[in-house]
Structure 1
Amino acid sequence: MKSIRNPLLIVLASLAIGAGSLAAAQDSGSANQRGGANGQFGQRFQERMQKRAAELHDKLKLTPAQEPAWNAYIARMRPASQPQRPSADELNALTTPQRMERRLDMMRQHEQRMAERIAATKEFYGILSPEQKKAFDEASRHRMEHRHHG
Protein backbone atom coordinates (compact mmCIF):
# COMPACT_ATOMS: atom_id res chain seq x y z
CA MET A 1 0.00 0.00 0.00
CA LYS A 2 2.78 2.40 0.93
CA SER A 3 4.56 1.76 -2.39
CA ILE A 4 1.44 2.87 -4.25
CA ARG A 5 0.65 5.77 -1.94
CA ASN A 6 3.87 7.76 -2.44
CA PRO A 7 3.76 7.85 -6.27
CA LEU A 8 0.05 8.64 -6.08
CA LEU A 9 0.76 11.58 -3.78
CA ILE A 10 3.45 12.83 -6.15
CA VAL A 11 1.07 12.65 -9.13
CA LEU A 12 -1.69 14.41 -7.21
CA ALA A 13 0.68 17.14 -6.04
CA SER A 14 1.93 17.58 -9.61
CA LEU A 15 -1.62 17.87 -10.86
CA ALA A 16 -2.47 20.45 -8.23
CA ILE A 17 0.63 22.47 -9.07
CA GLY A 18 -0.11 22.08 -12.76
CA ALA A 19 -3.63 23.36 -12.34
CA GLY A 20 -2.21 26.40 -10.58
CA SER A 21 0.35 26.85 -13.34
CA LEU A 22 -2.34 26.79 -15.99
CA ALA A 23 -4.31 29.37 -14.08
CA ALA A 24 -1.23 31.57 -13.74
CA ALA A 25 -0.51 31.18 -17.45
CA GLN A 26 -3.82 32.87 -18.19
CA ASP A 27 -2.41 36.16 -16.97
CA SER A 28 0.97 35.77 -18.64
CA GLY A 29 -0.08 36.23 -22.27
CA SER A 30 0.62 33.94 -25.18
CA ALA A 31 4.00 32.32 -25.87
CA ASN A 32 4.68 34.78 -28.67
CA GLN A 33 3.90 37.76 -26.45
CA ARG A 34 6.49 36.48 -23.98
CA GLY A 35 9.06 35.77 -26.70
CA GLY A 36 8.26 32.05 -26.71
CA ALA A 37 9.18 29.30 -29.14
CA ASN A 38 8.96 31.56 -32.18
CA GLY A 39 10.35 34.64 -30.49
CA GLN A 40 13.69 35.82 -29.16
CA PHE A 41 13.72 33.26 -26.34
CA GLY A 42 13.45 30.40 -28.83
CA GLN A 43 16.32 31.75 -30.89
CA ARG A 44 18.59 32.14 -27.84
CA PHE A 45 17.65 28.65 -26.68
CA GLN A 46 18.62 27.19 -30.05
CA GLU A 47 21.94 29.07 -29.97
CA ARG A 48 22.74 27.72 -26.49
CA MET A 49 21.82 24.18 -27.56
CA GLN A 50 24.14 24.41 -30.58
CA LYS A 51 26.96 25.79 -28.46
CA ARG A 52 26.61 23.00 -25.87
CA ALA A 53 26.47 20.37 -28.61
CA ALA A 54 29.66 21.75 -30.16
CA GLU A 55 31.41 21.77 -26.77
CA LEU A 56 30.36 18.19 -26.07
CA HIS A 57 31.46 17.12 -29.54
CA ASP A 58 34.91 18.59 -28.89
CA LYS A 59 35.19 16.97 -25.44
CA LEU A 60 34.27 13.55 -26.81
CA LYS A 61 36.96 13.64 -29.53
CA LEU A 62 34.82 11.52 -31.82
CA THR A 63 36.35 9.38 -34.53
CA PRO A 64 35.17 9.73 -38.13
CA ALA A 65 33.36 6.40 -37.73
CA GLN A 66 31.37 7.84 -34.80
CA GLU A 67 30.26 11.00 -36.61
CA PRO A 68 27.12 9.48 -38.19
CA ALA A 69 25.98 8.25 -34.76
CA TRP A 70 26.67 11.72 -33.32
CA ASN A 71 24.63 13.41 -36.05
CA ALA A 72 21.74 10.99 -35.50
CA TYR A 73 21.93 11.55 -31.74
CA ILE A 74 21.87 15.33 -32.06
CA ALA A 75 18.94 15.16 -34.48
CA ARG A 76 16.96 13.00 -32.05
CA MET A 77 17.81 15.23 -29.07
CA ARG A 78 16.49 18.43 -30.65
CA PRO A 79 13.48 19.64 -28.74
CA ALA A 80 10.18 18.76 -30.36
CA SER A 81 8.00 21.68 -31.28
CA GLN A 82 5.80 22.47 -28.35
CA PRO A 83 2.06 22.55 -28.88
CA GLN A 84 0.47 25.97 -28.64
CA ARG A 85 -0.55 26.72 -25.09
CA PRO A 86 -4.28 27.13 -24.66
CA SER A 87 -5.51 30.70 -24.47
CA ALA A 88 -6.96 32.16 -21.30
CA ASP A 89 -10.42 31.94 -22.88
CA GLU A 90 -9.94 28.23 -23.60
CA LEU A 91 -8.78 27.57 -20.05
CA ASN A 92 -11.60 29.60 -18.53
CA ALA A 93 -14.10 27.49 -20.46
CA LEU A 94 -12.79 24.31 -18.80
CA THR A 95 -13.83 22.93 -15.46
CA THR A 96 -11.20 22.17 -12.83
CA PRO A 97 -11.25 18.44 -13.61
CA GLN A 98 -10.89 19.22 -17.33
CA ARG A 99 -7.91 21.50 -16.65
CA MET A 100 -6.35 18.76 -14.54
CA GLU A 101 -6.89 16.26 -17.37
CA ARG A 102 -5.26 18.70 -19.78
CA ARG A 103 -2.26 18.96 -17.45
CA LEU A 104 -2.07 15.17 -17.18
CA ASP A 105 -2.07 14.91 -20.99
CA MET A 106 0.81 17.41 -21.13
CA MET A 107 2.71 15.37 -18.53
CA ARG A 108 2.22 12.22 -20.61
CA GLN A 109 3.53 13.98 -23.71
CA HIS A 110 6.54 15.17 -21.73
CA GLU A 111 7.15 11.64 -20.47
CA GLN A 112 7.01 10.29 -24.03
CA ARG A 113 9.55 12.87 -25.23
CA MET A 114 11.82 12.00 -22.29
CA ALA A 115 11.60 8.28 -23.11
CA GLU A 116 12.62 9.05 -26.70
CA ARG A 117 15.59 11.10 -25.50
CA ILE A 118 16.68 8.33 -23.13
CA ALA A 119 16.57 5.80 -25.97
CA ALA A 120 18.64 8.12 -28.20
CA THR A 121 21.18 8.67 -25.42
CA LYS A 122 21.52 4.96 -24.69
CA GLU A 123 22.05 4.20 -28.37
CA PHE A 124 24.74 6.87 -28.77
CA TYR A 125 26.36 6.08 -25.42
CA GLY A 126 26.74 2.47 -26.52
CA ILE A 127 29.17 3.39 -29.32
CA LEU A 128 31.46 5.47 -27.10
CA SER A 129 34.80 4.30 -25.75
CA PRO A 130 35.27 4.13 -21.95
CA GLU A 131 37.14 7.48 -22.02
CA GLN A 132 34.39 9.08 -24.09
CA LYS A 133 31.73 7.71 -21.75
CA LYS A 134 33.54 9.30 -18.82
CA ALA A 135 33.67 12.68 -20.63
CA PHE A 136 30.00 12.34 -21.60
CA ASP A 137 29.02 11.55 -18.00
CA GLU A 138 31.01 14.49 -16.64
CA ALA A 139 29.49 16.90 -19.15
CA SER A 140 25.99 15.65 -18.37
CA ARG A 141 26.56 15.83 -14.62
CA HIS A 142 27.95 19.36 -14.93
CA ARG A 143 24.91 20.47 -16.96
CA MET A 144 22.52 19.01 -14.39
CA GLU A 145 24.34 20.72 -11.50
CA HIS A 146 23.97 24.10 -13.19
CA ARG A 147 20.34 23.42 -13.92
CA HIS A 148 19.56 22.75 -10.26
CA HIS A 149 21.74 25.46 -8.71
CA GLY A 150 21.25 28.46 -10.86
Structure 2
Amino acid sequence: MKRARKNKINFIQDQHGNSVATPDDIVDIFIAYFQNLFATQLTHTAMETNTHHQVTIEDDFSTSTPNEQEILRLIKEMKRDSSPRLDGLNVAFYRAAWPWIKDDVKDFHNTGHLHHELNSTCIVLIPKKTNSVVPQDCRPISLCNVIYKIIAKSLA
Protein backbone atom coordinates (compact mmCIF):
# COMPACT_ATOMS: atom_id res chain seq x y z
CA MET A 1 0.00 0.00 0.00
CA LYS A 2 2.79 2.41 0.93
CA ARG A 3 4.65 1.61 -2.30
CA ALA A 4 1.50 2.21 -4.39
CA ARG A 5 0.99 5.61 -2.75
CA LYS A 6 4.63 6.52 -3.32
CA ASN A 7 4.52 5.52 -7.01
CA LYS A 8 1.14 7.08 -7.78
CA ILE A 9 1.21 10.05 -10.11
CA ASN A 10 -1.07 12.64 -8.51
CA PHE A 11 -0.46 15.38 -11.07
CA ILE A 12 1.67 16.07 -14.13
CA GLN A 13 2.56 19.18 -16.09
CA ASP A 14 1.80 19.46 -19.79
CA GLN A 15 4.18 21.01 -22.34
CA HIS A 16 2.87 24.49 -21.43
CA GLY A 17 3.54 24.07 -17.70
CA ASN A 18 -0.11 23.61 -16.74
CA SER A 19 -0.72 21.03 -14.01
CA VAL A 20 -3.41 18.40 -14.49
CA ALA A 21 -4.61 16.06 -11.76
CA THR A 22 -7.45 13.94 -13.12
CA PRO A 23 -6.45 10.41 -14.16
CA ASP A 24 -7.82 10.84 -17.70
CA ASP A 25 -5.90 14.11 -18.21
CA ILE A 26 -2.70 12.56 -16.83
CA VAL A 27 -3.06 9.65 -19.25
CA ASP A 28 -3.64 12.04 -22.16
CA ILE A 29 -0.47 13.99 -21.30
CA PHE A 30 1.66 10.83 -21.22
CA ILE A 31 0.16 9.45 -24.42
CA ALA A 32 0.74 12.72 -26.27
CA TYR A 33 4.31 12.98 -24.98
CA PHE A 34 5.36 9.44 -25.90
CA GLN A 35 3.53 9.45 -29.24
CA ASN A 36 5.42 12.60 -30.16
CA LEU A 37 8.70 11.20 -28.83
CA PHE A 38 8.46 7.90 -30.73
CA ALA A 39 6.82 9.21 -33.91
CA THR A 40 8.70 8.61 -37.14
CA GLN A 41 9.62 11.87 -38.77
CA LEU A 42 10.85 10.79 -42.21
CA THR A 43 10.95 13.45 -44.84
CA HIS A 44 9.82 12.78 -48.38
CA THR A 45 13.47 12.89 -49.55
CA ALA A 46 14.55 10.38 -46.91
CA MET A 47 11.83 7.96 -48.03
CA GLU A 48 12.91 8.29 -51.68
CA THR A 49 16.55 7.48 -50.90
CA ASN A 50 15.59 4.51 -48.75
CA THR A 51 16.95 1.40 -50.45
CA HIS A 52 15.04 -1.84 -50.53
CA HIS A 53 16.71 -5.13 -49.75
CA GLN A 54 16.06 -7.94 -52.20
CA VAL A 55 15.35 -11.16 -50.33
CA THR A 56 17.47 -14.03 -51.60
CA ILE A 57 17.65 -17.70 -50.74
CA GLU A 58 20.62 -16.93 -48.45
CA ASP A 59 18.32 -14.70 -46.36
CA ASP A 60 15.97 -17.60 -45.59
CA PHE A 61 16.22 -18.13 -41.84
CA SER A 62 13.91 -21.14 -41.77
CA THR A 63 16.90 -23.47 -41.82
CA SER A 64 18.14 -22.03 -38.51
CA THR A 65 15.08 -22.94 -36.45
CA PRO A 66 16.14 -23.83 -32.90
CA ASN A 67 15.46 -27.36 -31.74
CA GLU A 68 13.81 -28.41 -28.44
CA GLN A 69 17.10 -28.65 -26.57
CA GLU A 70 18.18 -25.15 -27.63
CA ILE A 71 14.87 -23.61 -26.55
CA LEU A 72 14.95 -25.48 -23.23
CA ARG A 73 18.54 -24.26 -22.68
CA LEU A 74 17.34 -20.66 -23.22
CA ILE A 75 14.59 -21.16 -20.66
CA LYS A 76 17.03 -22.62 -18.13
CA GLU A 77 19.33 -19.61 -18.58
CA MET A 78 16.52 -17.19 -17.71
CA LYS A 79 15.91 -15.98 -14.15
CA ARG A 80 13.49 -18.58 -12.84
CA ASP A 81 11.66 -16.59 -10.17
CA SER A 82 11.10 -13.30 -11.96
CA SER A 83 7.70 -11.85 -11.30
CA PRO A 84 4.88 -13.19 -13.46
CA ARG A 85 3.81 -11.14 -16.44
CA LEU A 86 0.41 -10.43 -17.93
CA ASP A 87 -0.35 -14.10 -18.42
CA GLY A 88 0.52 -14.80 -14.76
CA LEU A 89 3.22 -17.34 -15.65
CA ASN A 90 6.89 -17.03 -14.71
CA VAL A 91 9.95 -18.86 -16.06
CA ALA A 92 9.67 -21.54 -13.36
CA PHE A 93 6.29 -22.56 -14.81
CA TYR A 94 7.73 -22.94 -18.32
CA ARG A 95 10.60 -25.02 -16.98
CA ALA A 96 8.29 -27.30 -15.01
CA ALA A 97 5.69 -27.63 -17.77
CA TRP A 98 8.15 -27.98 -20.66
CA PRO A 99 7.06 -31.52 -21.63
CA TRP A 100 3.47 -30.31 -22.10
CA ILE A 101 4.08 -26.93 -23.72
CA LYS A 102 7.14 -27.49 -25.91
CA ASP A 103 5.00 -27.99 -29.03
CA ASP A 104 3.24 -24.67 -28.42
CA VAL A 105 6.58 -22.89 -28.07
CA LYS A 106 7.97 -24.52 -31.21
CA ASP A 107 4.77 -23.73 -33.11
CA PHE A 108 5.91 -20.15 -33.70
CA HIS A 109 9.08 -21.33 -35.44
CA ASN A 110 7.10 -23.68 -37.66
CA THR A 111 4.30 -21.29 -38.65
CA GLY A 112 5.78 -17.81 -38.13
CA HIS A 113 2.50 -16.84 -36.45
CA LEU A 114 2.45 -15.34 -32.97
CA HIS A 115 -0.93 -15.46 -31.28
CA HIS A 116 -2.28 -12.06 -30.25
CA GLU A 117 -2.51 -13.10 -26.58
CA LEU A 118 1.21 -13.95 -26.51
CA ASN A 119 2.13 -10.57 -27.95
CA SER A 120 0.41 -8.56 -25.19
CA THR A 121 2.70 -6.15 -23.41
CA CYS A 122 2.09 -3.89 -20.45
CA ILE A 123 3.91 -0.56 -20.51
CA VAL A 124 4.87 0.77 -17.08
CA LEU A 125 6.33 4.18 -16.31
CA ILE A 126 9.37 4.20 -14.04
CA PRO A 127 10.14 7.54 -12.36
CA LYS A 128 13.67 8.80 -12.98
CA LYS A 129 13.59 10.93 -9.85
CA THR A 130 11.64 11.19 -6.62
CA ASN A 131 9.25 13.98 -7.60
CA SER A 132 8.27 13.42 -11.21
CA VAL A 133 6.28 16.41 -12.46
CA VAL A 134 6.72 16.23 -16.26
CA PRO A 135 6.55 13.24 -18.62
CA GLN A 136 10.31 13.54 -19.25
CA ASP A 137 10.84 12.49 -15.62
CA CYS A 138 9.57 8.98 -16.40
CA ARG A 139 10.83 6.23 -18.66
CA PRO A 140 8.63 3.50 -20.10
CA ILE A 141 9.46 -0.18 -19.82
CA SER A 142 7.60 -3.06 -21.42
CA LEU A 143 6.62 -6.10 -19.39
CA CYS A 144 6.50 -8.93 -21.91
CA ASN A 145 5.15 -12.43 -21.40
CA VAL A 146 7.78 -15.13 -20.82
CA ILE A 147 6.79 -16.93 -24.03
CA TYR A 148 7.48 -13.72 -25.96
CA LYS A 149 10.92 -13.47 -24.33
CA ILE A 150 11.68 -17.10 -25.17
CA ILE A 151 10.80 -16.52 -28.82
CA ALA A 152 12.82 -13.28 -28.95
CA LYS A 153 15.87 -14.99 -27.44
CA SER A 154 15.58 -17.93 -29.81
CA LEU A 155 15.43 -15.57 -32.80
CA ALA A 156 18.47 -13.64 -31.57
What interval of TM-score do these two structures reach, taking the shorter chain for normalisation? 0.3 to 0.5
TM-score (norm 1): 0.34
The structure whose Rg is larger is 2
Question: TM-score scaled by structure 2?
Answer: 0.33
**Relative contact order, CA 8 A, sep 6+: which one is greater?**
1
More helix by share: 1
**Structure with higher strand content:** 2
